[in-house]
Structure 1
Amino acid sequence: MWTTFLVVLKMNLRSRSALFWLIVFPIVLATMFNGVFGQITEGYDIKPMSMAVVKDANWKRTAGAGAFVDALAGKEPSSDATTGAHEGTATGLDQQLIDITTVTSTAEARRRIADDAVQGYLNADGSGRLRMTLSSDTAGTATSSDGNVTVTIAALHGAIELYNRTDAITRETLEDHPTAAASARFWRSVGDAAGLTREVTLTNVKPDPIARYYYALLGMSCLMAMSYAVAAVTFAQANLSALGIRRTVAPLGRVRQLLAGFLASWLCAGTSLLIALAYIRYGCGVLLGGREPAAVLAVGVASFMSCALGTMIGAIPRLPHGVKIGLTSAISCVLSLFSGLYGSFAMELSDWITRHAPVLALVNPAQQVTNLFYDILYYDGYRPFAATCVNLLVMSAVFLAVGAILLRRQRYEHL
């Protein structure tokens, strides 16, 4: 059995086509993904905008405006932050939204915009409300293709609106209840309500919209690894190869021969997927949420399922080896379409199937392998990951059972 294991292992390692499709192809395609999509995520990060702050008479009468703007700039509250209507709003931001340039009038701020020195300005009106004015170029960029500007403007607008609402509520409360100004609890409540803008996540790590393409690539690579098991089973069949004839008359039983071939194929498939996973993780920088050991376990489960499916296909009688290899390639390409590998349309199709026909997604091996890594990255716990592993192991049991039935029924009139 050990000799058969080594023979099948050497045969797999000498297969140039298998090495190309299972190692070279995933690396090349992952490199293409990294080149094409690598900058998309960065395009939606918040980057500070250059803004002029008009510190005129209205600004000086607006209590807390300076502290608020310093918070937007990621600084400690400035010296002009006074106690009063906005004592509780001088909370800092974890994310810097603006770079400050101080001016004394709106006319000067407009000149700075005309000279392209700033992208807009902030000022206070007579009622103490803050207003944001953007240059025409900045506004045009925000409505076109610059995701950074769009996200930053949205966050900045939300922070200013929150400040103005808090200002209005605070002033109204103090007019109705003047004694509230002496209450520390009141000012703490104002500060809690004016928490400004903070980044939160509902998933294990920050979502990466491009990661799904890499996961779908791993799903396709996993199915392509069926070729190892297909070859191991095909070359053990007497009617399909000379090697199969010799193995049939060998003293080693068929079960032990197939088990040795399966283990060798599983080792090759798992190693190939680990190489692709390592390149995606460390070469392309696609995170796994700090759960690399779980990803290694996922590779083991996925490659086991792939070899089980390859065993079933390899056990199909009378089909030559070349036809079976072509069948594995066709199955891999078709099922990868429904797991979202081929662009945004395929991703939308995969999402639609998951929502409206979940059974089809459940029986799609490529989708389930994709879900393995998706579960690792995004979910707080391991329960969804464990459920997907169980589903793949059930698939493996079914594939192996069908393969065993097909192999058991095969008889030869002569060798």
Structure 2
Amino acid sequence: MGTVFRYQVLRLLRDRILLLWALGLPIALSLIFMAMFAGLEAGYAVDPMRVGIVHDDAYASEAGLDAALDAVSAADAEPQLLDPVVYDTAEQAEAAVRDGTTVGYIAVQDGDPVLHLSAEGDELSTTPVLRAMLDTYVQSRDELTALLAAGAPPAEAAAAVQNRHAFTTELQVTRVPGKPEVPYYFALLAFTSGMGMTIAVVAVQEITAPAGPLAARRNLGALPRWRLLLGTLAAAWVCTWACLVLAFIFMRFVVGVDFGPYAALCLLAIGISSLMACAAGSVLGTFPRMPLGGVSAISCLLALFCGLYGTASQELANRVELSAPLLSQLNPLWQATRCFYGLLYYDSLEPFARSCAALAGMTVVFFMIAMIRMRRTNHEHI
């Protein structure tokens, strides 16, 4: 069996199918994902806007407005909304907008701060945040004025208004902050491990008796068929796992994907996922006329329910998981994806262990089916 293993490793390492599907594909798709998601976080970033502030008599009458604008203009503010420029009159501020010095200006009109923006400034991602901040200021000012008019002590009135406008509290429920692009890389690793079926199909088809005289002599030799199959399957798995590890290292250190604090266990997830895929490929490999295009189509179809192909694919996977959870759990690539989720999104390793156990069970089932198929395929079928 060791001789079979060594021979198959050397033979598969020279096969372009291995390099294409197990190494070239994940690296190429990782580069595509990196280009697609490069500006994703930048699109949601809040950058300071260069806005004019009209310091006239109306502005001076708003005692709290100056402090509120200073709070969101400071360099250490989180977030910093404004890069202010002071003007004495609204006409000066309008002229600065026209010549492109600023994207707008804030002036107090009829007792309320009003934001005037150019077309360019109105499209900035910071604009909705700045408008919400000014609306909150006006509402807080009116509430504080009403409480003071009702005879409430100033300190209590200010505390009541401040607590009332604490709308949200930031809460992180995962070990690392969730990023929208990470599930795509998880699905890519699962899909690539599924493409390992093609490698096992190529290797197993070469040792089935109907494949040709050489395969027939191997099956008629003294080596039991289960050892022949096991040695071939082990070689396909080692080659697939090595290629996936290289792809994982590329994602982690070149693309910069954060796989969480248990990144080392991702190697175990890759190992069990690729072993399951090779066992499934060994079943398909016992069919001599099984085309590699059909094997790839199976992996592509299963990856559809893992969220690999975009938002629509992720929504479909979520709907299937909610409406037919057993159907999702029977999907080997879905289980492979959940292995990575279990390392990043849960407080314990129980979900990870559960997915690994499911993949191990599938591996045993696939290997037994392949062994039965190998025993029924003999020299008479050539």
TM-score with structure 1 setting the length: 0.80
**Matched position secondary structure for 1:350:** helix
d(CA) in 2 for partners of 1:301, 1:216: 15
* Equivalence for 2:67: 67
Distance of aligned partners of 1:2 and 1:354 in 2 relative to their CA distance in 1, 3 Å threshold: same
* Equivalence for 1:361: 328
d(CA) in 2 for partners of 1:352, 1:236: 41
Compute the RMSD of aligned alpha carbons. Answer: 3.0
d(CA) in 2 for partners of 1:130, 1:357: 54
Distance of aligned partners of 1:405 and 1:31 in 2 relative to their CA distance in 1, 3 Å threshold: same
**Matched position secondary structure for 2:8:** helix
Question: 1:163 pairs with 114, 137, 144, which one?
Answer: 137
**Matched position secondary structure for 2:52:** strand
- Percent identity of equivalent pairs: 32
Verify the 8 A CA contact 2:191 2:300 in the aligned structure 1: yes
d(CA) in 2 for partners of 1:380, 1:186: 42
d(CA) in 2 for partners of 1:132, 1:261: 71
1:75 CA displacement:
4.2
* Equivalence for 1:43: 43
* Equivalence for 1:103: 87
Where do residues 228-377 of structure 1 align in structure 2 (5 Å cutoff)? 228-316=199-287, 319-320=288-289, 323-377=290-344
d(CA) in 1 for partners of 2:330, 2:353: 16
Question: 1:138 pairs with 121, 127, 132, which one?
Answer: 121
**Matched position secondary structure for 1:209:** coil
1:267 counterpart letter in structure 2: V
d(CA) in 2 for partners of 1:292, 1:38: 22
2:301 counterpart letter in structure 1: V
- The unaligned stretches of length 5 or more in structure 2 are none
**Cα deviation per residue 1:56-88 (whole Å; 9 max; x = unaligned)?**
223323233222212212347xxxxxxxxxxxx
In the alignment, is residue 399 of structure 1 matched against residue 366 of structure 2? yes
Distance of aligned partners of 1:414 and 1:121 in 2 relative to their CA distance in 1, 3 Å threshold: closer
Distance of aligned partners of 1:51 and 1:230 in 2 relative to their CA distance in 1, 3 Å threshold: same
d(CA) in 2 for partners of 1:113, 1:413: 87
Verify the 8 A CA contact 2:209 2:378 in the aligned structure 1: no
Distance of aligned partners of 1:343 and 1:112 in 2 relative to their CA distance in 1, 3 Å threshold: same
Verify the 8 A CA contact 1:48 1:96 in the aligned structure 2: yes
In the alignment, is residue 13 of structure 1 matched against residue 13 of structure 2? yes
**Cα deviation per residue 1:149-186 (whole Å; 9 max; x = unaligned)?**
23x222222222222222222222222234x22x4x66
**Cα deviation per residue 1:16-43 (whole Å; 9 max; x = unaligned)?**
1221221112212322332344223322
1:208 CA displacement:
3.1
Distance of aligned partners of 1:382 and 1:161 in 2 relative to their CA distance in 1, 3 Å threshold: farther
**Matched position secondary structure for 1:99:** strand
**Matched position secondary structure for 1:130:** strand
**Cα deviation per residue 1:231-282 (whole Å; 9 max; x = unaligned)?**
3433332332444334334433332332222222221111111122222222
Distance of aligned partners of 1:196 and 1:414 in 2 relative to their CA distance in 1, 3 Å threshold: closer
**Cα deviation per residue 1:83-124 (whole Å; 9 max; x = unaligned)?**
xxxxxxxxxx42212211122232322222122211122233
d(CA) in 2 for partners of 1:251, 1:336: 41
In the alignment, is residue 113 of structure 1 matched against residue 97 of structure 2? yes
Distance of aligned partners of 1:391 and 1:70 in 2 relative to their CA distance in 1, 3 Å threshold: farther
Verify the 8 A CA contact 1:163 1:196 in the aligned structure 2: no
**Cα deviation per residue 1:109-146 (whole Å; 9 max; x = unaligned)?**
2222122211122233454x43322223322xx2xxxx
Distance of aligned partners of 1:74 and 1:274 in 2 relative to their CA distance in 1, 3 Å threshold: farther
TM-score with structure 2 setting the length: 0.86
Once structures 1 and 2 are overlaid, which stretch shifts more, 41-50 or 300-309? Answer: 41-50
* Equivalence for 1:226: 197
Where do residues 63-212 of structure 1 align in structure 2 (5 Å cutoff)? 63-75=63-75, 93-125=77-109, 127=111, 129-139=112-122, 142=123, 149-150=124-125, 152-178=126-152, 180-181=153-154, 183=155, 187-188=158-159, 190-194=161-165, 201=172, 203-212=174-183
1:192 CA displacement:
4.5
Distance of aligned partners of 1:335 and 1:121 in 2 relative to their CA distance in 1, 3 Å threshold: same
- The unaligned stretches of length 5 or more in structure 1 are 77-92, 143-148
